């Protein structure tokens, strides 16, 4: 900025031009009145310059302060994905219903290669197979395998929030496909006690009901509302496609926030 201050004084006075930074001073030097005017002029110029510098500094400070407030927001994020994964602590169940205590566990598998760990290993080439108490040689009823499942304590977090389920079919026998399921959560270590569980979901597995889906294929993820974190979960099959000796599926994952 360029500021010019012009003093008008009596005829005969000589003119002196001075400059302070960006300020040009025009004054009178041959009379006491003129000197006073020049001194006042210099004072005004200096004061004005200081005031402007001060104002500029203040603006800069305010701008910096505003920028600082904008660049430091507090953000809270949660990660949505599979809560369950290979290596989690998982216990196979049978003869068990939601709200009830464990009716049986760690048994009625077809063999060591089809235990619950294969429902969470991330591979649709492996499966979890359970006859349940009415299974085995009984291939004509719908009951075999109903009431089987597992409880699991995810290692990813001890306070996950479950909001979905994702199943995948096994390699054969579509009538063994699970069609409906219940999911409960607990923060207790008393996983065999029915009273420790809270029901979170009771509905479709997401495996197609009306037509037989491809083998070793994921169904549609089923979503539900829940905002409560839990340490452990219990998943129980409540129906299957048709008469056969067991329930089986290649994958069963809980989806949620950690
Ligand atoms: Ca598997």
Same domain, 99 and 24: no
Q: What is the 3-state secondary structure (H, E, C) of the chain?
A: CCEEEECCCCCCCCEEEEEECCEEEEEECCCHHHHHHHHHHHHHHHHHHHHHHHHHHHHHHHHHHHHHHHCCCCCCCCCEEECCCCCCEEEEEECCCCCCCCCEECCCECCHHHCHHHHCCCCCCCCEEECCCCCCCCCCCCCCCCCCEEEEECCCCCCEEEEEEEEECCCCCHHHCEEEEEEEEECCCCCCCHHHCEEEEEEECCCCCCCCCCCCCECCCEECCCCCCECEEEEEEEEECCCCCCEEECEEEEEEEC
Q: Is residue 205 part of a domain?
A: yes
Same domain, 91 and 203: yes
Same domain, 39 and 128: no
C-alpha 87 to ligand 1 mean position (Å): 12
d(CA 110, CA 221): 27
C-alpha 200 to ligand 1 mean position (Å): 24
Q: Is residue 68 part of a domain?
A: no
Q: Is residue 67 part of a domain?
A: no
Q: Is residue 10 part of a domain?
A: yes
**Is 0.85 surpassed by the pTM of this model?**
no
C-alpha 90 to ligand 1 mean position (Å): 13
Same domain, 131 and 246: yes
Sign, Cα dihedral of 133, 134, 139, 143: negative
Q: Is residue 74 part of a domain?
A: no
Q: Which two tokens stand for residue 173?
A: 């026998």
pLDDT tens per residue across all 258 residues of the chain: 444 444 444 444 444 444 444 444 444 444 444 444 444 433 444 344 444 433 334 433 344 444 444 455 555 578 999 999 999 999 999 999 999 999 999 999 999 999 999 999 999 999 999 999 999 888 888 899 999 999 999 999 999 999 999 999 999 999 999 999 999 999 999 999 999 999 999 999 999 999 999 999 999 999 999 999 999 999 999 999 999 999 999 999 999 999
Same domain, 56 and 86: no
Same domain, 45 and 133: no
C-alpha 119 to ligand 1 mean position (Å): 5
Same domain, 32 and 129: no
Q: Is residue 170 within 8 Å of residue 220, measured between CB atoms? A: no
Question: Which of 182, 107, 187 has its CA nearest to residue 147?
Answer: 182
For 119, phi then psi, to 5°, come to: -90, -10
Same domain, 14 and 122: no
Same domain, 54 and 95: no
For 256, phi then psi, to 5°, come to: -175, -170
Q: Is residue 75 part of a domain?
A: no
C-alpha 99 to ligand 1 mean position (Å): 27
- Residues 6 or more apart in contact with residue 226 via CB below 8 angstroms: 161, 162, 163, 185, 200, 201, 256
C-alpha 88 to ligand 1 mean position (Å): 14
Tell me which residue range forms the domain holding 54.
Answer: 3-61
Q: Is residue 73 part of a domain?
A: no
CATH number, residue 127: 2.60.120.260
C-alpha 86 to ligand 1 mean position (Å): 9
Same domain, 171 and 218: yes
Same domain, 186 and 232: yes
Task: Give how many domains the chain has, as a whole number.
Answer: 2
Same domain, 210 and 148: yes
């Amino acid at each position: 900025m360029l500021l010019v201050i012009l003093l008008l004084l009596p005829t005969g006075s000589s003119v002196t031009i001075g400059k302070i930074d960006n300020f040009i001073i025009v004054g009178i030097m041959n009379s006491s009145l003129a000197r006073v005017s020049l001194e006042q002029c210099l004072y005004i110029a200096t004061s004005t310059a200081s005031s402007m510098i001060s104002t500029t500094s203040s603006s800069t400070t305010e701008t910096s302060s505003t920028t600082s407030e904008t660049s430091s927001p507090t953000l809270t994020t949660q990660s949505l994905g599979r809560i369950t994964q290979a290596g989690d602590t998982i216990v196979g169940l049978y003869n068990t219903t939601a709200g009830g205590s464990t009716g049986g566990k760690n048994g009625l598998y077809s063999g060591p290669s089809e235990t619950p760990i294969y429902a969470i290993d991330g591979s649709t080439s492996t499966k979890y197979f359970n006859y349940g108490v009415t299974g085995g040689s009984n291939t004509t009823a719908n009951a075999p395998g109903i009431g089987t499942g597992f409880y699991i304590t995810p290692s990813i977090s001890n306070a996950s929030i479950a909001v979905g389920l994702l199943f995948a079919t096994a390699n054969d026998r579509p009538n063994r496909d699970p069609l409906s399921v219940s999911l409960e959560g607990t923060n207790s270590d008393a996983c065999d006690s029915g009273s420790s569980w809270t029901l979170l979901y009771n509905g479709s597995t997401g495996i197609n009901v009306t037509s037989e889906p491809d083998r070793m294929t994921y169904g549609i993820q089923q979503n539900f509302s829940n905002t409560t974190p839990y340490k452990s979960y219990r998943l129980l099959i409540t129906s299957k496609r048709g008469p056969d000796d067991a329930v089986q599926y290649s994958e069963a994952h809980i989806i949620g926030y950690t």
